[in-house]
Amino acid sequence: MKAVVQHKYGERDVFRIENVQAPEVGDHDVVVRVKAAGVDAGVWHTMAGKPYLLRLFGFGLRAPKQRIPGRDVAGTVSRVGAGVTRFVVGDEVFGTTLKGSYAEFTQTPETRLTQKPSNISFEQAAAASVSGCTAMHGVRDAGGLKAGQKVLVLGAGGGVGSFAVQIAVAMGATVTGVCSTNKVEFVSSLGATRVIDRSREDFAAGSDRYDLIIDTAGHTSLGRLRRVLTKRGTLVIVGGEGGGPLLGGFGRSLRAPLVSLFGSQKLRGLMSGEDLPTLEALRDLIGAGNVVPPVDRTFPLEQAGKAVEYLHDGRPVGKVVVTV
């Protein structure tokens, strides 16, 4: 099969198209014929090998252990293992894989997949799992959001941020989004009550206070974020963007729980994964039309490196997808 393969860390040119062996199917696994695969910040981190801390966490010191990139996947079931009970050949599915999704086929446990809602495309489905589940964990679980609360989303025009806005609105919150100028209309269309253009207005300068802050942007100090939290509010830092080459933005995530020890505010770093109950809850929100996976641009498999670069440059309004 045709796949993107990465033999070393670096820029987009480390992604090469190669012919590799198609995956086998285990007893509880599904082989998916990939139609589309999402691009998320984790793919860039794996491509670049930065921050260096991630290499010590099992990514591989000199080269990625997993040579085919990509986690988000959407497609049709090609083969099922003997113990698979939830899918049959031909089912349209979406979810995640640890075997790489930038390929014609990928293998994944059936518990990492769910049925694709009929009201979205494969490209939209491929954009949903990683960013959507991360947003769900941040808003619902780490954030403990309740209906009627006020939420601030930093990086509201990006992948996780755009899902966080929609999920918070669906849960009955009043949402303020912070984004760049070219994304203001988009964030407003997601249901945000107020949108702050970060180039023209300082979100921390006003008198507004928020019960929950979801920070996906990675550029704001903990002190400034705490100033706009309510007395018992919660800050959730998503991912490791920003910062230096060693720790990246994970430094803030590591410091946040320590700061929480000395006050009533809850500051949390989110290291999210994908689990079936959360994926199914996301699927239901999408199926009901409460969440729409926003696809900014698609790239063919041969341009996967360009797709990752486009994401890292901060240009997308929503999500980027690789089509196969």
- The 10s digit of each residue's pLDDT in 278-324 is 999 999 999 999 999 999 999 999 999 999 999 998 889 999 999 99
- Do 43 and 148 belong to one domain? no
- Do 229 and 149 belong to one domain? yes
CATH number, domain containing residue 117:
3.90.180.10
- Do 151 and 59 belong to one domain? no
Please tell me the distance from the alpha carbon of residue 223 to that of residue 30, in angstroms, as a whole number: 46
85, two tokens: 């009970």
Query: What's the pLDDT band for 57 if we cut at 50, 70, 90?
Result: low
Evaluate whether 155 touches 161 at the Cβ level (below 8 Å): yes
- 72: β partners: 96
- Do 179 and 140 belong to one domain? yes
- Do 201 and 218 belong to one domain? yes
Question: For residue 16, what pLDDT is reported?
Answer: 97
Residue type at position 291: V
Per-residue pLDDT of 198-210, as tens digits, reads: 999 999 988 999 9
Please tell me the distance from the alpha carbon of residue 70 to that of residue 46, in angstroms, as a whole number: 9
Neighbours of 303 (CB within 10 A): 18
Per-residue pLDDT of 70-104, as tens digits, reads: 999 999 999 999 999 999 999 999 999 999 999 99
Got the DSSP string for 237-291? EES--SSBTTTBTHHHHHHHHHHHTTSSSEEEEE-----HHHHHHHHHHHHTTS-
Query: What average pLDDT does range 165-186 have in this prediction?
Result: 98
Residue 276 lies in a domain: no
Which range of residues forms the domain containing residue 157?
A: 132-270
- Do 100 and 153 belong to one domain? no
Residue 100 lies in a domain: yes
- As for how many domains the chain has, the answer is 2
Percent of the chain with pLDDT over 70: 92
Per-residue pLDDT of 101-131, as tens digits, reads: 999 999 999 999 999 999 999 999 999 999 9
Question: For residue 277, what pLDDT is reported?
Answer: 97
CATH number, domain containing residue 143:
3.40.50.720
- Do 116 and 162 belong to one domain? no
C-alpha to C-alpha distances, 159 to 156, 308, 318, nearest whole angstrom: 8, 13, 5
- Do 118 and 200 belong to one domain? no
pLDDT at 250 over 80: no
